[in-house]
């Protein structure tokens, strides 16, 4: 009889140890060690003899002798999704899609399957969490009915492989990878070893057969994809589908993309008939903007190659507690603290006894330094109770000495502001070099935060 071995594996990072530990030495998480039992000498390479037929031996070659292959991308006809993917789905690629439960991952992939099936491509949608009738109910609600879209409800990887070999689809979708299990492994589905081995097998399917494969992954309470970190290193593209349940808008971001940029973002709106693309997100985010209210400033931010105008709101209120609060929603909390320190040191605005709150309207997250100037102006506007001009757009990076530094893609930001009818744009002075501002909008360059406040709020301090 084969010898039985037991080991403990961390569910967060995949760290292995022969004995149980309360705290993982790898990721320092508590109570994440689970026991895994396996038999020594048992083959763990995959599905029996199928992998043995895969040609894996190849001799080293000089790089100039390797053929340059540029496979045509598969256009999904969903513009926002194609933008995030870098122009479409690459044949033979492995994509991982993560997001909170109920955020719309299955809806998006089912709509993508329908678009590709309408183009004559074979799509195999494997669901491990829903029955065929449940998938059909969602398809009826979305108006999806195509003879090229095949649905399989299965969790056994061996049976999945048999269906893939028989159908030979152009696109394979697995929802979700945490429900798939390999019978050769004795651990439960969703464990670290099962997720790792199953993902490795789907990677071989994609690379050897040339089938574009999309895996759906669950996320932890911290927002990261559940399972070992190795999972994100194995795939070609990692997409996060995020958004607030209380808002109808969803953002699709690329965290990793071997075939395109990781700075792109797609915006969708959830409706009864599924996800709809938001063609002009700036109009959506500014549709409910109040006029003549202090603390409200419009900032031009870049999401990849797309300029987005959003409303930044600030509230500075006096507090009776010895330690004032600093709360930021949609922007980095550390940037808020830093900019408040600059305002106190360089401009003499003492806010030690005031709470400060910053919010990006619409649920969007801004992580570029170009929003610094808008944060500073909105804080001063609320602190002084002086409304900013509703026709102004500001952007620029703020340094520790109070200077306004140049940012990238200034021309695109200004053109977006002009298209939406704004009258003035306050930009860093050094960003005015090398391009000609449009005639329909006034562009004002500033060198310091003090100059920007004088232009927007009329503050001379």
- Contacts with 381 (C-beta within 8 Å, 6 or more apart), sequence order: 294, 295, 296, 297, 314, 387, 388, 456, 457
Tell me if 389 is assigned to a ligand binding site: no
**85-106 mean pLDDT:** 91
Residue 384: pLDDT over 90: yes
Task: Judge residue 89's burial from the number of C-beta atoms within 10 Å of its C-beta, 0-12 exposed, 13-18 middle, 19 or more buried.
Answer: buried
DSSP 147: T
Contact 402/396 with Cβ under 8 angstroms?
Answer: no
Q: Is 104 annotated as a binding residue?
A: yes
Please report how many Cα atoms fall inside a 13 Å half-sphere around the Cα of residue 235, on the Cβ side. Answer: 30
Q: Over the stretch 223-233, which tens digit does the pLDDT of each residue have?
A: 566 555 667 88
- Confidence band for 280, pLDDT divided at 50, 70 and 90: confident
Residue with tokens 């009776």: 320
- Find residue 240's DSSP bridge partners: 98, 253
SS3 content of the chain, % helix, strand, coil (to 5): 30, 30, 45
Query: What pLDDT is recorded for position 363?
Result: 79
Percent of the chain residues topping a pLDDT of 70: 90
**CA end-to-end span of the chain, whole Å?**
84
pLDDT surpassing 90 at residue 424: yes
Is 292 within any annotated ligand binding site? no
48 carries a ligand binding annotation: no
Q: For residue 448, count CB atoms less than 10 angstroms from its CB and return exposed for 0-12, middle for 13-18, buried for 19 or more.
A: middle
How many of the other CB atoms lie within 10 Å of CB of 358? 28
> What is the band of 49 on the pLDDT scale with cuts at 50, 70, 90?
very low
Per residue in 81-95, pLDDT (tens digit) is 999 999 999 999 999
User: Which of 64-68, 145-149, 341-345 has the weakest average pLDDT?
Assistant: 64-68
102 known ligand binder: yes
Q: Where are the beta strands (DSSP E) in 128-211?
A: 149-153, 171-175
Token code pair at residue 91: 């044949």
| pLDDT-wise least confident of 83-87, 325-329, 433-437 | 433-437
DSSP string, 93-145: -EEEEEE-TTSSHHHHHHHHHHHHHHTT--EEEEESSS-HHHHHHHHHHHT--
Q: Does 100 count as an annotated binding residue?
A: yes
Confidence band for 306, pLDDT divided at 50, 70 and 90: confident
Indicate the helix (H) or strand (E) that contains 372: helix 372-384
pLDDT at 50: 43
Is the pLDDT reported for residue 250 higher than 70?
yes
**What integer is the mean pLDDT of 112-128?**
95
307's enclosing H/E stretch is strand 306-318
Query: pLDDT band at 459, cuts 50/70/90?
Result: low
- Which residues are paired to 217 by β-bridges? 98
- Provide the pLDDT confidence category of residue 38 given band limits of 50, 70 and 90: low
Instruction: Output the six-digit token pair for 133.
Output: 């009738």
Question: Above 80 in pLDDT, residue 303?
Answer: yes
Mean pLDDT, the chain, rounded, equals: 87
User: Residue 38: beta bridge partners?
Assistant: 5
- Residue 374: its pLDDT value, please? 96
């Amino acid at each position: 009889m084969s010898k039985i071995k037991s080991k403990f594996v961390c569910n967060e990072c995949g760290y292995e140890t022969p004995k149980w530990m309360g705290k993982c030495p790898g990721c320092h998480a508590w109570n994440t060690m689970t026991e895994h039992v396996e038999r020594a000498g048992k083959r763990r390479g995959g599905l029996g003899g199928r992998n043995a037929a895969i040609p894996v031996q190849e001799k080293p070659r000089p790089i100039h002798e390797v053929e340059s292959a540029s496979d045509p991308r598969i256009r999904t006809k969903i513009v926002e999704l194609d933008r995030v993917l870098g122009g479409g789905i690459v044949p033979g690629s492995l994509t991982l899609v993560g997001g909170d439960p109920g955020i719309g991952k299955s809806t998006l992939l089912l709509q993508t399957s329908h678009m590709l099936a309408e183009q004559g491509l074979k799509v195999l949608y494997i669901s491990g969490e829903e029955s065929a009738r449940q998938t059909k109910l969602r398809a009826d609600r979305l108006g999806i009915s195509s003879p090229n879209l095949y649905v399989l409800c299965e969790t056994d990887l061996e049976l999945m492989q048999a269906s893939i070999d028989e159908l030979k689809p152009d696109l394979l979708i697995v929802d979700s990878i945490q429900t798939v299990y390999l019978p050769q492994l004795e651990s439960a589905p969703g464990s670290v070893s099962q997720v790792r081995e199953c993902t490795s097998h789907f990677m071989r399917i994609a690379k050897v057969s040339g089938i574009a494969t999309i895996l759906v992954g669950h996320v932890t309470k911290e927002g990261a994809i559940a399972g070992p970190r190795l999972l994100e290193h194995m795939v070609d593209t990692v997409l996060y589908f995020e958004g607030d349940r209380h808002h109808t808008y969803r953002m699709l971001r690329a965290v990793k993309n071997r075939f395109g940029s990781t700075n792109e973002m797609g915006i969708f709106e959830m409706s009864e008939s599924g996800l709809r693309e938001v063609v002009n997100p700036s109009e959506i985010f500014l549709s409910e903007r109040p006029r003549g209210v202090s603390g409200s400033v419009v900032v031009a931010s870049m999401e990849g190659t797309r300029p987005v105008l959003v409303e930044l709101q600030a509230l500075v209120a006096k507090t009776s507690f010895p330690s004032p609060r600093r709360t930021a929603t949609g922007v980095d909390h550390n940037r808020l603290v830093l900019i408040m320190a600059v305002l106190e040191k360089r401009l003499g605005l003492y806010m030690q006894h005031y709470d400060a709150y910053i919010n990006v309207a619409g649920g969007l997250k801004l992580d570029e330094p170009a929003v610094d100037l808008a944060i500073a102006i909105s804080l001063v506007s609320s602190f002084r109770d002086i409304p900013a001009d509703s026709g102004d757009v500001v952007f620029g990076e703020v340094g520790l000495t109070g200077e306004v530094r140049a940012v990238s893609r200034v021309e695109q930001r200004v053109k977006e502001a002009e298209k939406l009818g704004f009258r003035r744009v306050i930009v860093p002075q050094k960003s005015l070099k090398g391009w000609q501002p449009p005639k329909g909008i006034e562009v004002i360059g500033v060198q310091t935060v003090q100059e920007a406040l004088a232009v927007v709020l009329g503050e001379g301090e």
